Structure 1
């Protein structure tokens, strides 16, 4: 990565991933991207977390970053036709209006009322987007730390995000330490995000992980991707 444009901490994260038929997800992607499959399925992740200490690089430690705020994304796992993998965000709700500036490079941020609360042995997330009233409520009980499987890593560790702007695909690189993952039991899961995005019912129950977070996030500049081979090219 070149010099990052932002640094942050991503804390109190829960990963809820459902499997779908690949064609159901492919229909929601731009032509330049294809579904990245795991064991023959496409996956869509619902990920609420807390953004903390968002700051420009080079600021002295004495200068505070933005106040902590909640963010929730609905994302899927994709590849460019040159094989480079990454995330495609179907939606992102955020409780900090400043972050809406990222719309300039196509990041689909929407303002909303969001909250994250720890209560005893459970963590509760709730939110509603102001633009279309899509909403969610999630209560999980984090369990013991796990040694991530290949699928766990595949679902949680991606190092670039793709967006579309001005008729082009843009890539934004991300670096951070590996997510420390734990099992998580779901007490409550209610959401309208997937239906609002145009997805059918998933193929089965979700795969759920909890993480206390990563504390050394570096987000690089977004750059346009060179045009690659079109659909159907080998």
Structure 2
């Protein structure tokens, strides 16, 4: 399957890395919920060397609940208790030297080992959360609670389902701009890193959702609860991930974002 994925690359805006991938994952039952925000409202919580990518004059924040499966390191089998769990991430879109990618404010998962390994391997803002995800046919119910010592720090509760047949986005469309991104950026010890990703083009569906609670952006001082999001659904995606590469020299940025311990 991995070799088949690597044969299809014409949808990418830059080449697949020449080095071997290090991890494979499958993402299931994804909801892409996106809200427009003013660039100045998130400028201070993103490394200063990254340009915030805009569409229609706005930055966009995505809250993406889904379910991970088939996680494995290259040349190793999937490991019991660490290869299948729910996750929810909060992201926005950035560019570095013209290359478009994703910047994650946070990633919550219900697996202690996966949180630990993702912090070590990818320097990402992973947190442990109590998450319930159930799926019956295409109806999904999702509840996530990230807890601190004495209170819930971030949470999401809602249900969602697709409302159209699957389709692939057209290049330069808004759907394409939101989803067809093949690298992530992160900062570790004040250096900027890029992590390359490869998968087939997204098969998207229009979606509807009932969001009861959404405090996932509270830690960065953004309130999305009163606004209606743009919604997409995708049933399944197999993805390959590469080792982080340092792309930026020492950077300085004061973050309100929760940082790695």
Q: Mark yes or no: TM-score above 0.5.
A: yes
Deviation for aligned residue 1:122 = 1.7
3-state SS, counterpart of residue 193 of structure 1: coil
Task: Kindly provide the CA deviation profile for residues 63-100 of structure 1, in whole angstroms up to 9, marking residues without a partner as x.
Answer: 444441011100000112x1222111111101111222
1:89 paired residue number: 104
Larger deviation, residues 202-211 vs 88-97: 202-211
2:91 paired residue number: 75
Query: Which stretches in structure 1 are left out of the alignment for 5+ residues?
Result: none
Alpha carbons of structure 1 residues 33 and 142: separation in structure 2 relative to 1, 3 Å:
same
Task: Tell me which protein shows more strand as a share of its residues.
Answer: 1
Task: Kindly provide the CA deviation profile for residues 127-176 of structure 1, in whole angstroms up to 9, marking residues without a partner as x.
Answer: 01133621111211211124425101111121111111121011110101
Partners of 1:78 and 1:86 within 8 A in 2: yes
Query: Which stretches in structure 2 are left out of the alignment for 5+ residues?
Result: 1-16, 254-261
- TM-score w.r.t. structure 1 length? 0.88
Counterpart Cα distance in 2 of 1:189 and 1:77 = 25
Task: Kindly provide the CA deviation profile for residues 23-77 of structure 1, in whole angstroms up to 9, marking residues without a partner as x.
Answer: 1121211111121001111000000111101001123xxx444441011100000
1:143 paired residue number: 163
Deviation for aligned residue 1:190 = 1.6
Larger deviation, residues 176-185 vs 186-195: 186-195
3-state SS, counterpart of residue 179 of structure 1: coil
User: How do 1:59-70 residues align onto structure 2 when only pairs under 5 Å count?
Assistant: 59=76, 63-65=77-79, 66-70=82-86
1:177 paired residue number: 200
Which of 10, 19, 39 is 2:36 aligned to?
19
Q: How many residues of Structure 1 are paired with residues of Structure 2 in the alignment?
A: 226
Counterpart Cα distance in 1 of 2:55 and 2:251 = 23
Counterpart Cα distance in 2 of 1:204 and 1:117 = 25
Alpha carbons of structure 1 residues 181 and 168: separation in structure 2 relative to 1, 3 Å:
same
Larger deviation, residues 100-109 vs 33-42: 100-109
Larger deviation, residues 124-133 vs 156-165: 124-133
Counterpart Cα distance in 1 of 2:228 and 2:245 = 36
Counterpart Cα distance in 2 of 1:219 and 1:85 = 16
Counterpart Cα distance in 2 of 1:123 and 1:37 = 30
2:67 paired residue number: 50
3-state SS, counterpart of residue 3 of structure 1: coil
